[in-house]
């Protein structure tokens, strides 16, 4: 049996949570945390300099760029590097989008530590990890032909639109969102318009009501 440990990178902007995950992982005989990063730019800088890692654990919502943007940059740099999304957000909303973005799995932060460890091991084997509940949701969607029920319209949004909707739901203005995502106000306004069209919302007020309700339900 090999004594070589799988090398893990953690990307999460909550330092205390990140260190807690590192302690959990480092207690295992078959894996260790090689690097930690607080945002996407730091993660990419580390990946360019350090010895290769075997898996990246990536938070969906970072303070600067969305995890969906970070995973694109990671795979542009190292296409074969598996990424496991970790998040506080409901997997029924985010997990399918994560898989479409190229992630190999999705684990909610509310899950116990053994679930995270099992997910890491599953992804390292080359498999995809989702909860049993999420597997059932996806299988049901396939079995019913993937019909777009109203609550599924949100899956038509691009990663950038999705992130903007989330920030609107948190109460941020277009100016604040532009600053948070390092985009122009014009770009954010375009995203807002596209979101309204895709979700069949009549105006800006309707968008704010929808985003606020969706964000509250998501938590």
Domain ranges of the chain: 6-138, 150-218
Q: What is the pLDDT of residue 219?
A: 45
Per run of 10 residues, the mean pLDDT along the chain (length 219 residues) is 83 92 95 93 89 91 80 92 88 77 90 94 93 76 56 75 88 91 90 89 88 72
Residue indicated by tokens 């309707």: 206
The domain 6-138 is placed in CATH, from the list 3.60.15.10, 3.10.20.740, 3.40.640.10, 3.40.50.2300, at 3.40.50.2300
Q: How long, in residues, is the chain?
A: 219
pTM above 0.75, yes or no: no
> Is 110 in contact with 142 (CB distance < 8 Å)?
no
* Widest distance between CA atoms in the chain: 61
| Domain 150-218, classified CATH 3.50.30.10, yes or no | no
Which of 20, 2, 27 is closest to 57 using CA atoms? 20
């Amino acid at each position: 049996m090999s004594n070589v440990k799988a090398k893990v990178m953690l990307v999460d902007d909550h330092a205390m949570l990140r260190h807690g995950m590192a302690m959990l992982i480092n207690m295992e005989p078959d894996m260790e945390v090689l690097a930690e990063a607080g945002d996407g730019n730091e993660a990419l800088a580390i990946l360019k300099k350090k010895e290769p890692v075997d898996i990246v654990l990536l938070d969906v919502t970072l303070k600067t760029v969305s995890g969906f943007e970070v995973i694109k940059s990671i795979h542009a740099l190292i296409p074969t590097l598996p990424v496991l999304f970790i998040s506080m957000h409901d997997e029924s909303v985010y997990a399918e989008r994560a898989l479409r973005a190229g992630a190999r799995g999705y684990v909610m932060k509310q899950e116990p530590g053994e679930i995270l460890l099992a997910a890491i091991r599953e992804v390292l084997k080359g498999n995809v990890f989702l909860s049993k509940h999420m597997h059932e949701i996806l299988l049901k969607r396939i079995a019913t032909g993937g019909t777009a029920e109203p609550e599924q319209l949100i899956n038509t949004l691009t990663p950038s639109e999705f992130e903007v909707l989330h920030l609107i739901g948190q109460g941020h203005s277009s100016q604040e969102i532009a600053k948070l995502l390092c985009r122009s106000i014009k770009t954010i306004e375009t995203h807002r318009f596209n979101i309204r069209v895709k979700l069949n919302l009549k105006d800006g007020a309707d968008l704010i009501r929808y985003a606020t309700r969706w964000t509250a339900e998501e938590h």
